Structure 1
Amino acid sequence: MSRIVAVSGVLPPHRYPQHEITEALAGLCLPPGADRALLDRLHTGAGVTHRHLALPLEQYARIDGFGRANDAFLTAALDLGEQAARAALAEAGLDGGAVDLVVSTSVTGIAAPSVEARLAGPLGLRPDVRRLPVFGLGCAAGAAGVARLADHLAGRPAHAALLLSTELCSLTLQRAGTSRADLVASALFGDGAGALVAVGADHPLYGSSRGPLVVAARSRLYPGTAHLLGWDIGDHGFRIVLGSELPELTRLHVAEEVESFLAVHDLKPADVSAWICHPGGPRVLDALAEGLGLPGTALAASRRSLARVGNLSSASVLHILRDVLAEGPPPPGSTGLMLALGPGFSSELVLLRW
């Protein structure tokens, strides 16, 4: 088994209360004279109090196409990504040259060379570092990235691996986006980056860290649901596809998948001490809690993260894991479950143990 030895979360400096973002988007996205009742209702009910944005709020009016949005993504992603990676490496007590594998993920911008390649020099990564840039897993990529690090470290137990997530959801804003899906996205998503360092069982840090072990992982695609979540990509950039059926699918099928995964390890939902769940939105969290019969406090860390910073796509689970660890690690022998949902429609589960 591999061990997580450090995790960081970084946010842009531009922080706004939800009501200021709502007002700005009403003027930016809705046609003159349009009824803004739906926008107000969705923003009020999103469970979000504040969000951090890649740009000052007034600058979003200048983003008039995919090219400018992606240019802004590259600038901010490199800045935040470097901060997050440096913080995680410093916490682990490693320099960039000690990293054998780096997995980088984002679904809110495109870069070739990829983000981790552009950061290789500033971070001091070795020229022979293994790189795996990931696009398309969406919000599930943070949990999937932890699982892929664990796969690598199982075969190379002396290695250290870095996961980097940079998500700038605000730069996918649709200027003419008035569909319900567009408005839901405008209410939920924020910007941020996260990084995580894990080591194999033969690495010197393995025995000296109190971080959780990665015990097992499971990926699942749900057939017939590909049309429910993802991007519609065109000249307008990334326009969200967000089916209204997702909370019900979560309640029925994802909850069943979680129970099945835990049962393989002789566990039940009640045995999980730390739930590190991607905050897809209040309805998704409610559906998951209902489907698994969880007490109201079980997903508190996810709800707090949603309120403070919004949905950070793949970076959310890294921020939530950081928060859980900052509150004091669970007692030895405790179990944690990292869970995230993404396009496909898909789920990623990672079982942790302290």
Structure 2
Amino acid sequence: MTRIAAVHGALAPYRFAQAEITDMVARACLPEGADRQVLDRLHRNAGVRARHMTLPLERYETLHGFGVANDLFITTATDLGARVIRDALRTAGLTAADVDLLVFTSVTGVAVPSVDARVAGRLGLRPDVRRVPLFGLGCAGGAAGLARVHDFLLGRPGQVAVLLSVELCSLTFQRGDASTANLVATGLFGDGATAVVACGTERAGACTGPTVVDARSLLYPDAGGVLGWDIGDSGFKVVLDPGIPQVLRHHLADEVRAFLDGHGLKPQDVTAWVCHPGGPRILDAVAEALDLHTEELAFSWRHLAEVGNLSSSSVLHVLRDTLAERPPPPGTPGLLLAVGPGLACELVLLSW
């Protein structure tokens, strides 16, 4: 089995209260003199108190053009990514030379050479390190990346893999766009990164983190247009359909039960729910579908309030907090889950 040796997260350097961001969005997105009641309500209901962003707030009002924003993404993602990997390897008691696989996931910028290649050079990873850059998985990327790391280590139990997620969501904000989807996104998403170090069975050694038991990927039928990007001259324009929670209510419970049943488990056996904090309506839908109490998603709700939705990085931040603050009893199961474009759901079964 795959053993998680360390999880480290970091946030972008500038932190702002939600009300400050709302004022900036009103100036940048609404027509002059427009009524901002809808904007205020959407941001107020996002469940977010503050967020971290890549740039000083005033820069976003003049950040025009996809090329400029994407150049900032490449520079910042490389810096932040190198930092979290270095910290995670140190915690795991490993060095850059120990890394056999580097998986990178992001949906908020593009780079060729990819960010993982740039980070590998900066950290001094071996020239023969395997790299797997993932794009397009959105908020599900952290869970899917962990699952792909597990797939790799099952066949190479003596090796070490690193999963890196960097999401700089603020660089995708669309100025001059007063659509409901854009206003919701500008009230929900923040910037951050996470690195997970995982070891195969033969390298697990003294690692005390949970093991990855199994993973499952799910694509929901006829839901491909409810979440994603429309990519144009101005960059990434969010597609965010209000029907996403209903899709989860319809599908999630049966899928989770079937996955757990394959391992002789039921939802009530799970001692840790590591859920992507996609937003209040997403968390409510997950809780309703799986009959979970508010406390069982406490880390997800707290993460949403303190830093917003970090896309693929968020579920890994919730995993970090679970490990650090309230690890379940040894030998008990946990379930990590996240939803992304497709519409897709990624499930990862853990054992503590």
* Pair in the same fold by TM > 0.5: yes
Pairwise mapping of residues 213-232 of structure 1 onto structure 2 (< 5 A)? 213-232=211-230
- 1-structure distance, mates of 2:245, 2:2: 32
1:348 matched to 2:346 = yes
- 2-structure distance, mates of 1:122, 1:106: 19
Corresponding residue number in structure 2 for 1:111: 111
Corresponding residue number in structure 2 for 1:274: 272
1:251 matched to 2:249 = yes
Contact 1:269 1:294 survives alignment (8 Å): no
- 2-structure distance, mates of 1:172, 1:318: 21
Pairwise mapping of residues 119-130 of structure 1 onto structure 2 (< 5 A)? 119-130=119-130
Corresponding residue number in structure 1 for 2:156: 156
- 1-structure distance, mates of 2:243, 2:253: 15
- 1-structure distance, mates of 2:221, 2:303: 30
- 1-structure distance, mates of 2:326, 2:279: 26
Task: Give, as a single letter, the amino acid of the residue that structure 1 aligns with 2:124.
Answer: G
- 2-structure distance, mates of 1:236, 1:59: 16
Give the C-alpha shift of residue 49 in structure 1. 0.5
Corresponding residue number in structure 1 for 2:314: 316
- 1-structure distance, mates of 2:328, 2:296: 14
TM-superposition CA deviations, 1:279-334 (whole Å, max 9, x none): 11000100110111111211111000000100000000111111111104221112
Contact 1:167 1:313 survives alignment (8 Å): yes
Give the C-alpha shift of residue 256 in structure 1. 2.0
Give the C-alpha shift of residue 73 in structure 1. 0.6
- 1-structure distance, mates of 2:231, 2:122: 32
1:198 matched to 2:198 = yes
Contact 1:95 1:124 survives alignment (8 Å): no
Corresponding residue number in structure 2 for 1:234: 232
1:97 matched to 2:73 = no
Corresponding residue number in structure 2 for 1:45: 45
Task: Give, as a single letter, the amino acid of the residue that structure 2 aligns with 1:319.
Answer: H
- 1-structure distance, mates of 2:42, 2:266: 34
Pairwise mapping of residues 290-305 of structure 1 onto structure 2 (< 5 A)? 290-305=288-303
Task: Determine helix, strand or coil for the equivalent of 2:78.
Answer: helix
Task: Determine helix, strand or coil for the equivalent of 1:348.
Answer: strand
- 1-structure distance, mates of 2:182, 2:257: 32
Task: Give, as a single letter, the amino acid of the residue that structure 2 aligns with 1:261.
Answer: F
Corresponding residue number in structure 2 for 1:169: 169
Give the C-alpha shift of residue 255 in structure 1. 2.4
Aligned-residue sequence identity (percent) comes to 62
Corresponding residue number in structure 2 for 1:86: 86
Task: Determine helix, strand or coil for the equivalent of 1:336.
Answer: strand
- 2-structure distance, mates of 1:343, 1:97: 35
Pairwise mapping of residues 28-67 of structure 1 onto structure 2 (< 5 A)? 28-67=28-67
Task: Give, as a single letter, the amino acid of the residue that structure 2 aligns with 1:352.
Answer: L
Across the two proteins, how many residue pairs are aligned to each other?
A: 352
Task: Give, as a single letter, the amino acid of the residue that structure 1 aligns with 2:111.
Answer: A
Contact 2:27 2:61 survives alignment (8 Å): no
1:333 matched to 2:325 = no
Q: TM-score, normalised by structure 1?
A: 0.98
Structure 2 spans left out of the alignment, 5+ residues: none
- 2-structure distance, mates of 1:83, 1:140: 22
Corresponding residue number in structure 1 for 2:134: 134
Q: TM-score, normalised by structure 2?
A: 0.99
1:19 matched to 2:19 = yes
Pairwise CA RMSD? 0.8
Give the C-alpha shift of residue 7 in structure 1. 0.4
- 1-structure distance, mates of 2:308, 2:62: 23
Give the C-alpha shift of residue 207 in structure 1. 3.4
1:5 matched to 2:11 = no
Task: Determine helix, strand or coil for the equivalent of 2:295.
Answer: coil
Contact 1:270 1:294 survives alignment (8 Å): no
Task: Determine helix, strand or coil for the equivalent of 2:202.
Answer: coil
Contact 2:24 2:61 survives alignment (8 Å): no
Corresponding residue number in structure 1 for 2:184: 184
- 1-structure distance, mates of 2:19, 2:209: 38
- 2-structure distance, mates of 1:335, 1:307: 26
Task: Give, as a single letter, the amino acid of the residue that structure 1 aligns with 2:304.
Answer: L
- 2-structure distance, mates of 1:318, 1:175: 29
Structure 1 runs of 4+ with >2 Å offset: none
Give the C-alpha shift of residue 104 in structure 1. 0.3
Task: Give, as a single letter, the amino acid of the residue that structure 2 aligns with 1:19.
Answer: A
